Amino acid sequence: MGRIRRIAITTGGGDAPGLNAVIRSVVLSALQRNWEVIGIRKGYEGLFDTSKLIPLDRDSVRGITHIGGTILGTTNRGNPFEYPMRCADGAISLVDRSDELVETFRRMRIDALVAIGGDGSMRIAHGLAEKGLPVVGVPKTIDNDLSGTVITFGFDTAVTVATDALDRLHSTAEAHERVMVVEVMGRYAGWIALHSGVASTADVILIPEIPFDIDIVCDKVLDREARGRHFTIAVVAEGAHPVGGEMVVSGKAVGQEVRLGGIAEQVAAAIEERTGKESRVVRLGHLQRGGRPTTFDRLTALRFGAAAVRTIEAGIFNVMVALDPPRVKTVELAEAVSRMKNVPLDSDTMLTARDLGVCFGDGTDGEEAGT
Ligand code: F6P
């Protein structure tokens, strides 16, 4: 491919702390090379409406590294391969508009696209790359469930928020001798629950990777009671589910993934009924996605942005930048979207949790847990 003159950048899917740091890093790194940068507002949707394409200069990215959200906006609707359109009869059908998008890209003389997003956005980026668009992906998601990278930016901030909340809930749980069931995000992976749960010395951690038996969870509560520990902290990933049961879905819109949520209420109700212990629910929800990125996420995001620009300069496309400490490397987009990155049950953090006696509801718990 010839000399790069103009690149575009998009942020897609749910927001994650660190998006603005990537945008700043891409823009400044590109300007160093005398490239123009076009920001696409509202994810890929912006390419269907050229008024949503905005030039990004040094001033546009001033002072944004530490700010949550994204100056470009984002959406988890508008997948160009399955775009929801209203038919004459009022029904909504999913239409492939990807060719239209590729055409806009060419018409606007954009030489390369930096696509920042999670698994959904990387799948779209891969599809567009297969249609000939020169794309470099940047892995974002609080869920940390993208393959090919050790970590996605946004995860560290979400874990920090969850850990802080769990620390605070400890004292009120102990004061009232209650069970606190805290639901965290993460979709089909238990990374946030595991990391925040272990760091905050939770007694019970329920993750999608280990279907749980509620009786074993209740035994843990009663065992603590018998040992004079009259409160219990349980962290429940939104995708956790009982053995033989389903994940709890709280909603679904056309063209979007199912919305998970509500398992904590079920767990708390079952604990209260079976143990007689007053049980309360806290759902952390979008608090985990808002606000300032941690230092780790900022630095990772800045490194990813600069690496994406170096990758474009090297003429390497259809790849995603990825963290493989201590370096940032690239992996094929095909590999990144080939499978979800779940918590490995033999990972060091899992083994640590087992050694600390955390209950995963699967009957292999140790003796001690929590505080
Ligand atoms: O993928 C990030 C995430 O926050 C998940 O943890 C959660 O299930 C989902 O997005 C929530 O999406 P929305 O913002 O559409 O409610």
- Domain extent listing, the chain: 6-153+293-336, 159-290+344-355
Average pLDDT over residues 293-300: 98
pLDDT at 371: 54
pLDDT tens per residue, range 334-364:
999 999 999 999 999 999 999 999 999 997 6
The whole model's pTM is what? 0.95
Q: Do 135 and 333 meet the contact criterion of CB atoms below 8 Å apart?
A: yes
pLDDT tens per residue, range 208-222:
999 999 999 999 999
**DSSP labels for 30-60?**
HHHTT-EEEEESTGGGGGGSGGGEEE--TGG
pLDDT at 366: 46
pLDDT at 254: 66
Question: Closest Cα to atom 13, ligand 1: which residue?
Answer: 14
Closest approach atom of ligand 1 to CA 13: 1
39, β-bridge pairs: 9, 54
> Per CATH, is 159-290+344-355 categorized as 3.40.50.460?
yes
Question: In terms of DSSP H, where are the helices of the chain?
Answer: 19-32, 98-107, 119-130, 155-176, 191-199, 214-226, 263-275, 295-313, 333-336, 348-356
**Under CATH, what is the fold of the domain 6-153+293-336?**
Rossmann fold (3.40.50)
Average pLDDT over residues 27-46: 95
Mutation pick for ligand 1 pocket among 142, 252, 254 (CB with most ligand atoms within 8 Å): 142
Q: In this structure, are strands 83-86 and 92-95 parallel, antiparallel, or unpaired?
A: antiparallel
Q: Is 143 a catalytic residue?
A: yes
Cα(first)–Cα(last) distance of the chain, in Å?
60
**Ligand 1 neighbour 76 (Cβ under 6 A):** yes
The residue written with tokens 């490194």 in the block is: 303
pLDDT tens per residue, range 102-113:
999 999 999 999
Q: Do 129 and 80 meet the contact criterion of CB atoms below 8 Å apart?
A: no
